Structure 1
Amino acid sequence: MPNENNVQDRLDQAMNGGTPKINPDEQRRYLGTFRERVALMIPVSAVSDDAALNQVRQILTAHSDYNLLINGNLDNALQSPYLKLAGELHAKFTLKNSDDYGTAPDQAAVVVAAANAINVENIDFQAPQQQTPKEQSNSRQSFWQRLFHH
């Protein structure tokens, strides 16, 4: 009786909110898309970092077909630079306003994603490291230190 099972499956789906999602936790983490489509994910804790905005600019400039997903639950002041950037670059963007997308520091604020799988290995935003000036210890070395260390 395959028809009865099919009808029961459809009734169960309708009662549970429609078609079941594939990897719903992953989709919540990446603002509604899959991990394999993500080029960059900026957490809420880093969304106001200028380096994050510059990385988004670089990626969208290099890949005009990518989509910018912005957590719509964030304050407008945090969303605004990314919306402005999308307008400048004529990039596709989507504000994601679902209650599934939180504003905790480790949750996604901005995601740059492709329509298909791109499988980027490291998608998490990394702030550039501050370079410290090297100490010039060579200028105070004794004659013997310079002689034997070169």
Structure 2
Amino acid sequence: MNRTDVEDYLQEGIYGAKETKPGERRRYLGTLRERIVLMLTKGQVMQQKGMDELAEQMKEHKDAKLLMNGKVGYKFRKAYSRLADRHQIHVTSVLDQEKETDVGVLLVVDYAIEKETIEVETETKPSVQEEKEKGVKGFLKRLFQPL
């Protein structure tokens, strides 16, 4: 054995196998972004948003798997698990106590698909500027407004 082979073997024994893109794997429940078909955040899962988009993508990608964040409560994950069962998609719950991520559910494939947008857009609250443009006045403006 070469000296470099022995050193690599020892390093792997001490620190574990080398991973490609560890930051990406931490965020996306152990998978790479290039393999993700659709992503839902924890908030979207708890509000049961994105179910229609997920069902649509499950129909298109029959060979996909559903990865669910184990830190999200079972009562929130149950509906997504049932949806995957209806489409005969394998479900895996990923629980890693050391890594924190905002990802709730991922629909992934075993090969790279390089999809441009993987996140589901949901309705957001209008910003303060948008409210002002609509004529909604804040509390202080109403307080100091002449009678």
TM-score (norm 1): 0.76
Name the amino acid aligned to 1:10: Y
Larger Rg: 1
Identity level (%):
28
Residue 57 of structure 1: SS of its match in structure 2?
helix
* Aligned residue in 2 for 1:145: none
The secondary structure found in structure 1 opposite 2:121 is coil
For residues 22 and 38 of structure 2, what CA distance do their matches in structure 1 show?
A: 19
Q: Is the 8 A contact 1:71 1:101 kept in 2?
A: no
2:55 is equivalent to residue 57 of structure 1: yes
> Does the alignment pair 1:8 with 2:7?
yes
Return the letter of the residue paired with 1:102: E
State the Cα deviation string for residues 51-84 of structure 1 (Å, max 9, x = none). Answer: 4111111100121111111001111111111111
Please report the TM-score for the alignment, with normalisation by the length of structure 2: 0.77
Q: Is the 8 A contact 1:66 1:115 kept in 2?
A: yes
| 1:56 counterpart letter in structure 2 | L
Deviation at 1:108, TM superposition (A): 0.3
Q: Secondary structure of the residue that 1:93 maps to in structure 2?
A: strand
Q: How does 1:48-127 map to 2 (within 5 A)?
A: 48-102=46-100, 107-127=102-122
Structure 1 residue aligned with 2:42, among 44, 50, 63? 44
Following TM superposition, by how much is the alpha carbon of 1:49 offset from its aligned partner in structure 2, in angstroms? 3.7
The ranges of structure 1 where at least 4 consecutive aligned residues each deviate by more than 4 angstroms after the TM superposition are none
Note the C-alpha offset of 1:50. 4.1
- How many residues are aligned here? 125
Give 5+ residue unaligned stretches, structure 2.
125-147
Over residues 83-107 of structure 1, what are the superposed CA-to-partner deviations in whole Å (9 max), with x where a residue is unaligned?
111111111121101124536xxx1
